[in-house]
Amino acid sequence: MKYDLTRPPDLSREQRIGQMRLQRPEYVALLPPCNQACPAGENIQAWLALAQQRHFKAAWQKLVEENPMPAIHGRVCYHPCESGCNRAQLDNPVSIHAVERFLGDLAIAEGWNIEYDTAATGRHILVVGAGPSGLSAAYHLTRMGHNVEIREAGPMAGGMMHFGIPAYRMPRDILDAEIRRIEDMGVRIVLDYKVEDVLAEKQQGNFDAVFVAIGAHLSKHIDIPARDAAGMLSAVNFLASVETGEAPVLGRRVAVYGGGNTAMDAARVAKRLGAEEALIIYRRNREQMPAHEFEAQGALEEGVKINWLRTIREIDQTTLTVEVMEIGADGRPRGTGELETLEADSLILALGQSTDVTLLENIPGIEFQGDTVSVDEHMMTGHPGIFAGGDMVPSERTVTTAVGHGKKAARNIDSWLRGEHYSSPQKNPLASFDKLHLWYFTDADQRPQDSLDLNHRQSGFEEVVHGLKKQDAVFEAQRCLSCGNCFECDGCYGACPEHAIIKRGKNRGYSIDLELCTGCSICFDQCPCHAIEMVAEPA
């Protein structure tokens, strides 16, 4: 047989180009850092994309797939998503919490309802505690078709969102509206019902599973030598008494001992109740305080004074003896021996909170870590069918973390009831800042939120921070860089010299004609958000 060596092999154009191509482009979907950082597990980038198109109801529906209380979270969450936002390294982060609040408030104003369609399972779940974790679990279990009853020891639902967060940060009409929406889905909330024995409640009520989510309502104390110390109270009890309309008489001068967010709230509330002086005493410096910077700044703006590097040594009626501290080489505070005296009519202790785990103590198999309950990766305690989350388990104690626990517990309870084990979907690789091609984006500073005039803050509990107007919320949503996911900017389509990029239609993305693609990587270079990666051709 003779061969014509001058004639090219009988190959398709794709095969011939493929032999020359060392790499090819592929569209990818990476994990945005905001999504990764959200303790509630929201798909932030997805609902921001809908909001920037002014599809507000669709954005809200996407948001509440993961988090049932966006108007609450837009106010009280400390937004770690914004700390992870890549835009922070370009100018400043997207104000995600402000857009979330806008959507949440709009949903309340418009009376939007949760859209879901699930057949009833006939299963009955008991949730103990109507705080953020219990409400979240009840919400997600209801979406899955289960019947849920919450039993709450207090006179109102909301837990520490009601009793620990002042109304100037969390207006009660907003809080009540979001809770009422969960009730309207069919969740039954029984108030003034303290569960003493979880196992007995489970058996007597014929519940298939229990989720225990009691907040940290017990104040931690510290031994301070005291003689006739009048006017000493815990921050938790103080804030709760204000909520129930039974605020104590504080006097002219109020001292708050502690450096967390609760200490800041207690001092600001004291000013609103008429205290002429509110002084925070904290044993570390400002850089080491557990309170968030904006919480401390808000307190300082309202006239609260903070004595850094001070610790209380003795109390004698209205006189406090404090020791001046210093930060040692190990970064820890240590006494200097130098003493000072301060005068205070009341002392509020804000030294942290503990949970009451006595309702679980006599149940076989359940183990404890101090004031928390041990759970496995499925949020289940050592006793089958009893799950726990929120402040009751070892974790960060925030509203958003608690809501995330509720969702995770709901998914695991649902799987356990079906005789299965829930496993989280595999996460995509992270879309880190170094992957982005920032030439595409221009500087666009974050839209500020207005705030209540200082002169009006100390005279009542009107909300301090105001929300974004519609045009500003859209602008903020449009600041999103869409890290790691295509937003159909047409950069690849317009740049390809071989016309190998095919538009598939709005919201359907693109495809690549490999018969035309030469692997030149221009599409990759033009993609601002790293939704394209160049991969090596197989050998």
**Looking at the domain assignment, is residue 443 inside a domain?**
no
Q: What is the pLDDT of residue 19?
A: 58
Provide the CATH number for the domain around residue 491: 3.30.70.20
Q: What average pLDDT values come out for the chain (539 residues) when binned by 10 residues? A: 41 55 94 97 97 98 98 96 95 97 98 93 97 98 98 94 93 97 97 94 96 87 68 90 91 94 95 95 92 91 94 90 93 93 94 88 92 95 96 92 97 96 92 91 89 86 94 97 96 95 93 94 95 91
Task: Count the domains in the chain.
Answer: 4
In this structure, the answer to whether residues 141 and 108 fall within a common structural domain is: no
**Looking at the domain assignment, is residue 423 inside a domain?**
no
**Looking at the domain assignment, is residue 233 inside a domain?**
no
Q: What is the pLDDT of residue 7?
A: 40
Q: Are 516 and 5 in contact (CB under 8 A)?
A: no
Q: 223 Cβ partners below 8 Å, 6+ apart?
A: none
For residue 527, give its domain range.
13-29+486-536
Q: What is the SS3 assignment for 472? A: helix
Provide the CATH number for the domain around residue 185: 3.50.50.60
Q: What is the pLDDT of residue 224?
A: 77
Positive or negative, the CA dihedral 360, 366, 370, 373 is: negative
In this structure, the answer to whether residues 365 and 399 fall within a common structural domain is: yes
Which two structure tokens, joined as six digits, stand for 531? 């939704």
In this structure, the answer to whether residues 70 and 143 fall within a common structural domain is: no
Q: What is the pLDDT of residue 4?
A: 41
**Looking at the domain assignment, is residue 433 inside a domain?**
no
Which two structure tokens, joined as six digits, stand for 497? 């010299």
In this structure, the answer to whether residues 54 and 23 fall within a common structural domain is: no
In this structure, the answer to whether residues 272 and 343 fall within a common structural domain is: yes
Q: What is the pLDDT of residues 479-518, one digit of tens each?
A: 999 999 999 999 999 999 999 999 999 889 999 999 999 9
Cα dist. 339→225, 314, 324, 342, 506 in Å?
Answer: 15, 10, 6, 10, 70
- Exposure letters 111-142 (e unless 16+ CB within 10 A, then b): ebebeeeeeebebebbbbbbbbbbbbbbbbbb
Residue 32 CB coordination number (10 Å): 28
Q: What is the pLDDT of residues 234-286, one digit of tens each?
A: 999 999 999 888 999 999 999 999 999 999 999 999 999 999 999 999 999 98
In this structure, the answer to whether residues 370 and 453 fall within a common structural domain is: no
- The Cα 413–Cα 209 span in angstroms is 7
**Looking at the domain assignment, is residue 428 inside a domain?**
no
In this structure, the answer to whether residues 271 and 336 fall within a common structural domain is: yes
In this structure, the answer to whether residues 133 and 172 fall within a common structural domain is: yes
**Looking at the domain assignment, is residue 86 inside a domain?**
yes
Closest CA to 158 of 140, 142, 141, 136: 136
In this structure, the answer to whether residues 493 and 513 fall within a common structural domain is: yes
Give the β-pairing of 253-257 and 346-349.
Answer: parallel
**Looking at the domain assignment, is residue 2 inside a domain?**
no
Taking each helix axis as running N to C, give the angle between helix 470-478 and helix 96-110, from 0 to 180 degrees, rounded to the nearest 10. Answer: 140
Residue 220 CB coordination number (10 Å): 15
In this structure, the answer to whether residues 156 and 183 fall within a common structural domain is: yes
Q: What is the pLDDT of residue 225?
A: 73
Strands (E), 17-106: 23-27
In this structure, the answer to whether residues 166 and 85 fall within a common structural domain is: no
- The Cα 261–Cα 259 span in angstroms is 7
**Looking at the domain assignment, is residue 3 inside a domain?**
no
Q: What is the SS3 assignment for 128? A: strand
**Chain position carrying tokens 């000072």:** 340
Q: What is the pLDDT of residue 198?
A: 94
Look up the pTM and report it: 0.91
In this structure, the answer to whether residues 272 and 302 fall within a common structural domain is: yes
Chain centroid to CA 408: how far?
14
The residue length of the chain stands at 539
Q: Which residues pair with 257 in a beta bridge?
A: 281, 349
- The Cα 302–Cα 454 span in angstroms is 7
